[in-house]
């Protein structure tokens, strides 16, 4: 087998592993070179059409219902210790708080995963295209609004199983050491991606990579400014690393619902601080 055929075969294998198991980082130059410009091809090949944004379609609660919802989902009321580990007890709530101190059970799989009706930064089908339905619908509206304003967004990585997260963290730990990996990657059970409520977003301006500088692009700025209108927050803000436990990630948006998202954005606080209020 000549060198060219070997190179092509290696690229095919790496892409298959990446899309199927979510192990290969989308930030690696090899992955970026491999995917090329296939985002448009994937969209043209049959992605669910993006719905037009419609603020009136958002489900709303009365003030009393919202107060009860917040009370029921307070951080202090949604935790249970088992074998020395604190597990969340409201896994299916849109306000579930998952971090390094609050874990999802290894068996948890969101009950209503669907493919998000948006364009992706990669070809083919993958669990990374999925979110819980309420979050997927809201993401479709967010992306449609961005498109109307001339802002190009692509989804990079959504749902991730406990097993996939374990493989990802172990790979990072082998490469960077566990201490450094802890600053930017979650242990299995501690990842918001397992909730089905999170999506990593990027744009051509940063070659669809997940980088800090995305927050300084027009797309990253638009995302931060408008995410709350559709129920999303930029989950890991700059300067909030001590509260969230993770480094700044301007690409990582998390669905919490419109009212909570607007309050979190207005107050400039983290989800941890918000849910500690109730």
When divided into structural domains, the chain yields a total of 1
Inside any domain, residue 218: yes
Instruction: Using alpha carbons, select from 130, 97, 95, 98 the residue that is nearest to residue 114.
Output: 130
How do 198-202 and 249-255 pair as beta strands?
antiparallel
Backbone angles phi, psi at 234, to 5 degrees: -80, 110
Inside any domain, residue 22: no
pLDDT digits (tens), the chain, 278 positions: 454 444 444 444 344 334 443 333 334 333 333 343 454 434 433 343 333 333 333 467 899 999 999 999 999 999 999 999 999 999 999 999 999 999 999 999 999 999 999 999 999 999 999 999 999 999 999 999 999 999 999 999 999 999 999 999 999 999 999 999 988 999 999 999 999 999 999 999 999 999 999 999 999 999 999 999 999 999 999 999 999 999 999 999 999 999 999 999 999 999 999 999 99
Beta-strand ranges (E) seen in 137-273 are 154-157, 198-202, 232-236, 249-255
Residue whose structure tokens are 């400039």: 268
Q: Provide the token pair at 9.
A: 């075969």
Inside any domain, residue 192: yes
Inside any domain, residue 23: no
DSSP letter at 120 equals B
pLDDT value of residue 210: 98
pTM: 0.81
Inside any domain, residue 129: yes
Residues, the chain, total? 278
How do 154-157 and 85-88 pair as beta strands?
unpaired
Q: What is the CATH number of the domain that holds 154?
A: 3.30.1380.10
Inside any domain, residue 1: no
Inside any domain, residue 3: no
Inside any domain, residue 236: yes
Q: Provide the token pair at 125.
A: 């089908």
CB 233, CB 256: distance < 8 Å:
yes
Q: Phi/psi class of residue 146: alpha, beta or left (left: φ > 0; alpha: ψ in -120 to 50)?
A: alpha
pLDDT value of residue 21: 38
| Domain containing residue 199 | 38-275
pLDDT value of residue 61: 82
């Amino acid at each position: 087998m000549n060198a060219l055929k070997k190179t092509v075969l290696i690229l095919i294998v790496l892409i298959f592993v990446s899309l199927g198991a979510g192990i290969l980082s989308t930030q690696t130059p090899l992955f970026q070179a491999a995917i090329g410009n296939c985002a448009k091809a994937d969209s043209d090949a049959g992605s669910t059409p993006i719905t037009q944004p419609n603020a009136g379609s958002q489900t709303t609660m009365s003030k009393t219902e919202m107060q009860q919802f917040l009370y029921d989902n307070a951080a202090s009321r949604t935790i249970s210790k088992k074998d020395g580990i604190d597990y969340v007890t409201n896994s299916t709530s849109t306000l579930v708080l998952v971090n390094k101190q609050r874990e999802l059970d290894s068996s948890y799989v969101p009950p209503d995963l669907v493919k998000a009706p948006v364009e992706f930064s990669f070809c083919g089908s993958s669990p990374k295209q999925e979110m819980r339905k309420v979050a997927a619908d809201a993401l479709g509206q967010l992306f449609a609004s961005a498109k109307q304003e001339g802002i190009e967004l692509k989804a990079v990585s959504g749902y991730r199983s406990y097993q996939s997260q374990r493989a990802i963290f172990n790979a990072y730990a082998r490469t960077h050491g566990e201490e450094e990996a802890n600053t930017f990657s979650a242990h299995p059970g501690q990842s918001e991606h397992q909730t089905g409520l999170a999506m990593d977003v990027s744009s051509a301006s940063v070659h669809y990579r997940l980088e800090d500088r995305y927050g300084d692009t027009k797309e990253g700025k638009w995302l931060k400014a408008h995410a709350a209108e559709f129920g999303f927050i930029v989950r890991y803000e700059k300067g909030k690393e001590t509260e969230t436990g993770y480094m700044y990630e301007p690409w990582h948006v998390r669905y919490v619902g419109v009212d909570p998202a607007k309050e979190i954005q207005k107050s400039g606080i983290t989800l941890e601080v918000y849910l500690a209020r109730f």
